[in-house]
Structure 1
Amino acid sequence: MSTIVTAASGQLGRLVVESLLARGAAPDSVIATSRDVSKLADLAERGVRTAELDYTRPDTIAAVIDAGDVVVLISSDAVGQRVPQHAAVIDAAKAAGAARMVYTSVLAASTSPLILAPEHKATEEHLAASGVPVTLLRNGWYTENYVGEIATARDSGVVAASVGAGRLASASRRDYAEAAAVAALDESTAGRTFELSGDHAWDFDEFAEALTTVTGRPVRYESLTPEQHAERLRGFGLDEGTVGFVVALDGNIRDGLLADTSGDLARLIGRPTTPLVEALTAATA
């Protein structure tokens, strides 16, 4: 039996492989996959098996998965194309007789109005219909999603958003990766759903304080209306689709859709989640 990690050359997938090794998985029991295997050369040098796996090419998927394997399906970053891409991996896992799948979904995927939820909900439904045992990891917000704000805050002293007083229970990407490794190695997680998020839900005044610490200069939060936010984003040259997505996501945060603190993530990884300042500092190192 092997543990297969899809998209292992990506930011989350690579950390999942690292976490598997750190938790005692033998390197030759792990198969790290990517569309571009050359990006996995350093892992291969450490004894990890590598293979090509392209979500858009079912033949590459079928060539990797064997009976009894555990497949960690890292959700695709191709928004709007995720469902068929994920379905290709699920179908291949079913055909091969995989023992289990671990899927990185999103918080409350089956019921949430979060703009990111529909594709994850459809994937979860496809997983359920497949009959392959599954562990659902419904990931919340990654603190690293805001690393780009550090340079802006350092230059301007301002972090601007239309989230209002909304809160985010974020955790580091490494926290979520460790959870995926734990789930992959623990058969008892089969059939379970974990709502994963950080231990503390912070608001953007706290975020500004964190940026003040990280940048070494005073940073304040400028609260925008959705209309002001959209106009500012257009001024940066963003297309209307991207503008609409970003403003809608801030609206979701304003409505508290990413604020839940279930404690599942800390319990799964056996330690507190990474605090906001620590995660931002590590991401800039």
Structure 2
Amino acid sequence: MKIAITGATGQLGELVIHALLKVTPAENIIALVRNASKAKNLKAQGIELRHFDYDHPETLTSALLGIDKLLLISANEIGRRTPQHKAVIEAAQQARVPYIAYTSLLHADISPLGLAQEHRETEDLIKSSGLKYTILRNNWYSENYLAALTHTVENGTLYGAAGLGEISSAARQDYAQAAAKVLTSENHDDKTYELAGSQSFTLADLAQKITDASGKSVIYQNLTANEYTQALLEAGLPAGLADVIVDADVQAEKGALFSTNQDLEKLLGHKTTTIQDQVKAILMKSH
């Protein structure tokens, strides 16, 4: 059983491979990478590397020959995802890959997030491809709120624009383990899983959790969308990324990141990692 992972050197891709290595030998895993020099650690573990560049579709089919299962991790260039994903799906058809799993977005069919459209388009391409498939609709990653955690503690303020919106995010590790489970077990064909955290929180809740874990007072400062965009730009974030983060918060206030679905914990066989545990782990490492 040969399992191939796109974006294998990305944050999610590497975690999926680590999860796969716990349940299947390295020789069963193919890392599809644009830059092999970034994947030396994977090669050192006995994983085959194959060059894979979405922007050179002519190279994709040969890279997928002999693959039994393909995990298409959504590309990171927002606005270019649909044509890139289309190239991968068409290459999978030509290489006669029988099955594809895809990392989509929670409730992609009805989500108001700006990100959702390209996921909807990709899901449609997969469903009309004739390939067996599993759609993994990942909710927001908890890490998206924790990237600047030490700065937040120092500053005493967590900024956002989500109001009192409840967020059912999960750790990237949890989504990776769920993907590995789907790729290495049966009865997932033509299914769509809505994947979200077992617990939900508001950003004010998160500020309190950071306070409890750090011993330093952190408050949540709710900003308007424009104020939050400006703050992120001033912090050095690219405009496109700032827009995505602010859009997520604005839609979170309306319930777009909230879910009571238990698909993720059912795939994992346990509750998802709590954000307070992630906060504690990050703060411990920073000391």
* 2:223 matched residue in structure 1: 224
Rounded to whole Å, the distance in 2 between the matches of 1:240 and 1:68 is 38
- Secondary structure at the aligned position of 1:66 is classed as coil
* 1:45 matched residue in structure 2: 44
Unaligned runs of 5+ in 2: none
Alignment of 1:133 with 2:132, yes or no, is yes
Rounded to whole Å, the distance in 1 between the matches of 2:64 and 2:240 is 36
The residue identity in structure 1 corresponding to 2:20 is L
Rounded to whole Å, the distance in 1 between the matches of 2:232 and 2:95 is 46
- Secondary structure at the aligned position of 1:71 is classed as strand
Rounded to whole Å, the distance in 1 between the matches of 2:172 and 2:235 is 27
Paired residue total: 284
Rounded to whole Å, the distance in 1 between the matches of 2:247 and 2:219 is 22
Alignment of 1:34 with 2:39, yes or no, is no
Report the CA distance between 1:193 and its aligned residue. 0.4
Contact 2:156 2:217 (8 Å CA) reproduced: yes
Report the CA distance between 1:231 and its aligned residue. 4.4
- Secondary structure at the aligned position of 2:128 is classed as helix
Q: CA RMSD in A?
A: 1.8
Following superposition of structure 1 onto structure 2, how do residues 129-278 of structure 1 map, counting pairs within 5 Å? 129-233=128-232, 235-236=234-235, 243-278=242-277
The residue identity in structure 1 corresponding to 2:172 is R
Rounded to whole Å, the distance in 2 between the matches of 1:240 and 1:30 is 36
Rounded to whole Å, the distance in 1 between the matches of 2:100 and 2:13 is 14
State the TM-score, normalizing by the size of structure 2: 0.93
* 1:18 matched residue in structure 2: 18
Cα deviation digits, residues 173-225 of structure 1 (max 9, x gap): 00000011011112310110000000011011211022224433110111223
Rounded to whole Å, the distance in 1 between the matches of 2:281 and 2:52 is 30
Rounded to whole Å, the distance in 2 between the matches of 1:242 and 1:44 is 31
The residue identity in structure 2 corresponding to 1:20 is L
* 1:61 matched residue in structure 2: 60
Q: Measured at CA, do residues 41 and 98 of structure 1 come closer, stay the same or move farther in structure 2, by a change above 3 Å? A: same
Rounded to whole Å, the distance in 2 between the matches of 1:5 and 1:235 is 35
State the TM-score, normalizing by the size of structure 1: 0.93
Report the CA distance between 1:256 and its aligned residue. 0.8
Q: Measured at CA, do residues 27 and 271 of structure 1 come closer, stay the same or move farther in structure 2, by a change above 3 Å? A: same
- Secondary structure at the aligned position of 1:134 is classed as strand
Cα deviation digits, residues 219-275 of structure 1 (max 9, x gap): 011122334334444554667655544332211111110111201000011111000
Contact 1:67 1:99 (8 Å CA) reproduced: no
